[in-house]
Amino acid sequence: MFQVVTRFPPSPTGHLHLGGARTALFNWLFARHYQGKFILRFEDTDQERSKPEYVTSILEALKWLGLDWDEGPYFQSQRLELYHQFAQRLLEEGKAYYCECSKELLEEKKKKRLELGLKPGYDKTCRDKNLGPGEGRALRIITPDIGDIVVEDLLRGRIIFSADEIDDFIILRSDKTPTYQFAVVVDDITMKITHVIRGDDHLSNTPKQILIYKALGVNPPFFAHIPMVLGSDGARLSKRHGARSVLEYREEGYLPYALINYLARLGWGYGDEEYFSVKELIEKFSLERINLAPARFDSDKLLAVNTYWIKNSPSEVLLEHLLPFLKDYSIFRFSKEYLILAIETIKSRTKTLKEMAEMLHFYLVEEIDYEENSARKYLTKAIGPYLERFFLDLKDLSLEEQELESYFKNLAQTSGIKLKDLAQAIRVALTGKSVSPGLFEIIKVLGKERVEKRLKKALEFIKNL
């Protein structure tokens, strides 16, 4: 039975950014949709630029996004013997040869060919020398001089490349490390990859890789080259467009499934629907729905998607994602029920988890601080007696919204003060600010003991004016 197998092969030369995360997502969704396998491997043969800290960062980002893998992570740096075996096979079958041309000589050849109006490819000097391995010698694959190389792309249809555009390219460098083109083909063969879904910036690599597949007598996988993600100005996406690494979005308070939702919609669509759970994406994802026009990153749209999911996620789920933002509070002092009720009062008012944590502050501290302007404006000598009245009546009040509303309206009417002024004074007394979630919600969540304590502090503040 045919099993779909996809892969995500990042180079650990930097953190995982949005473009790479979207490529990983599309491969993951495709594999999950068909109950296939998703393989993770690191293309780390560039020893100078590959760093262990980037491996750690990429793994952390993928785990945070929930893009789990079925095999791996594999590392190309640990598979060198395998590449050598495949290279030796091509050499023995007369499909590859050693080249002793130095870098300087190759540059000289290139210059002369350009001067003669020829293409700057390798001139096959060593093809018939029958050289063996030796110091300074690289292994080149023999490419056809005429004919076409056909790429059957699942998104773009048939793409034809002329064979004379491709010279005898190196598959094993003189230091015995494999080139990207060779290593990726050997990896995809041995890992039984069925579908290669990657950015269209790799399209120019595909004919060379097809030649390697043919030389090894293996049918290539299915290719699907997805459009790049661009900035709002149409240029390649970068930090100047507001794009950050995946982990930076985590630190800014974005939900992983909100980021997944947004990344999926960058170039893929399902009618007019905007919001998808991960489960829905797995069910509905298909390559046919990928748009061939380059997607454009919009930081405002990403924030809007995050806002939607904060508003529409269960508060219990939000609490799990909020915990890293609450590490400065001793939240073990509070019950889970208390924290969930507090979240309920603010989640429709915030756009990120970071904002949510800031808004939760007054729920999580023993002593609140007053905003200077708010305290000066609302905690006045004139309002003091009415705060004291509320303080005294509180023990006999129900904290249900309807009864609290009726109580405050009656207190305002009988006292001849504006309900707004009374409510704002109590709001500042309880939160330290003049802007907060609904007053009745706050009172109910805080409970009588905390409300009494904060009213007492406010009365003391007024007394000392």
DSSP 202: G
pLDDT of residue 233: 80
- Pairwise CA distance, residues 137 & 129, whole Å: 12
CATH topology for 366-463 is: Arc Repressor Mutant, subunit A (1.10.10)
Question: Could you give the 3-state DSSP secondary structure of residue 308?
Answer: helix
Is residue 33 a contact partner of residue 282, using CB atoms and an 8 Å limit? yes
- Tokens coding 452: 């009494």
In this chain, the answer to whether the domains covering 79-226 and 366-463 adopt an identical fold is no
Percent of the chain with pLDDT over 90: 87
Q: Are strands 195-199 and 157-162 parallel, antiparallel or unpaired?
A: unpaired
**For 210-223, what is each residue's pLDDT tens digit?**
999 999 999 999 99
Please compute the mean of the pLDDT values over residues 159-165 and round it to a whole number: 92
Tell me how far apart the alpha carbons of residues 127 and 141 are, in angstroms, rounded to a whole number: 9
Residue 242 Ramachandran class (φ > 0 left, ψ -120 to 50 alpha, else beta): left
- Look over the chain and give the mean of its residue pLDDT values, rounded to a whole number: 94
Confidence (pLDDT) at 110: 83
369 burial type by CB count under 10 A (0-12 exposed, 13-18 middle, 19+ buried) = exposed
Distance from C-alpha of 282 to C-alpha of 34, rounded to nearest angstrom: 9
Q: What is the pLDDT of residue 106?
A: 87
Query: Per-residue b/e over 148-172, b at no fewer than 16 CB within 10 Å?
Result: ebebebebbeeeebeeeebbbbbbb
Give residue-wise pLDDT tens across range 5-35. Answer: 999 999 999 999 999 999 999 999 999 999 9
Q: How far apart are CA 383 and CA 70, in angstroms?
A: 65
Query: Residue 95: pLDDT above 70?
Result: yes
Residue matched to tokens 């007696």: 385
Residue in 332, 353, 393 with CA at minimum distance from that of residue 251: 353
Evaluate whether 127 touches 142 at the Cβ level (below 8 Å): yes
Query: The tokens 């490529």 sit on which residue?
Result: 23
The 10s digit of each residue's pLDDT in 384-416 is 999 999 999 999 999 999 999 999 999 999 988
Dihedral of alpha carbons 47, 53, 56, 62, sign: negative
Pairing of strands 229-230, 295-296: parallel
Arithmetic mean of pLDDT, 196-200: 96
Give tens-digit pLDDT for 273-289.
999 999 999 999 999 99
d(CA 64, CA 356): 19
- Mean pLDDT over 165-192 rounds to 96
Distances (CA, A) of 415 to 12, 244, 340, 378, 410: 69, 55, 36, 16, 8
Instruction: Please report which confidence band the pLDDT of residue 232 belongs to, taking 50, 70 and 90 as the band edges.
Output: confident
Average pLDDT over residues 299-319: 97
The answer to whether residues 428 and 457 touch, using CB atoms and an 8 Å cutoff, is: no
Q: Which residues have a catalytic role annotated?
A: 239
User: Could you tell me which of 244, 292, 302, 234 has the C-alpha nearest to residue 268?
Assistant: 292
Q: How confident is the model at residue 1 (pLDDT cuts 50, 70, 90)?
A: low
Beta bridge partners of 75: 42
Q: Taking residues 431-444, what's their average pLDDT?
A: 95
CATH of domain 5-76+229-307: 3.40.50.620
- The CATH code of domain 79-226 reads 3.40.50.620
pLDDT at 269 over 80: yes
Q: pLDDT for 349-377, tens place per residue?
A: 999 999 999 999 999 999 999 999 999 99
pLDDT of 102 higher than 80? yes
Residue 169 CA from chain centroid, whole number:
35
> Which pLDDT does position 112 carry in this prediction?
84
Residue-range domain boundaries for the chain:
5-76+229-307, 79-226, 366-463
Q: What is the pLDDT of residue 283?
A: 98
Q: How far is CA 215 from CA 91, 177, 423, in A?
A: 11, 19, 80
Please check whether residue 12 is in contact with residue 203, taking contact to mean a CB–CB distance below 8 angstroms: no
Residue 241, pLDDT score: 72
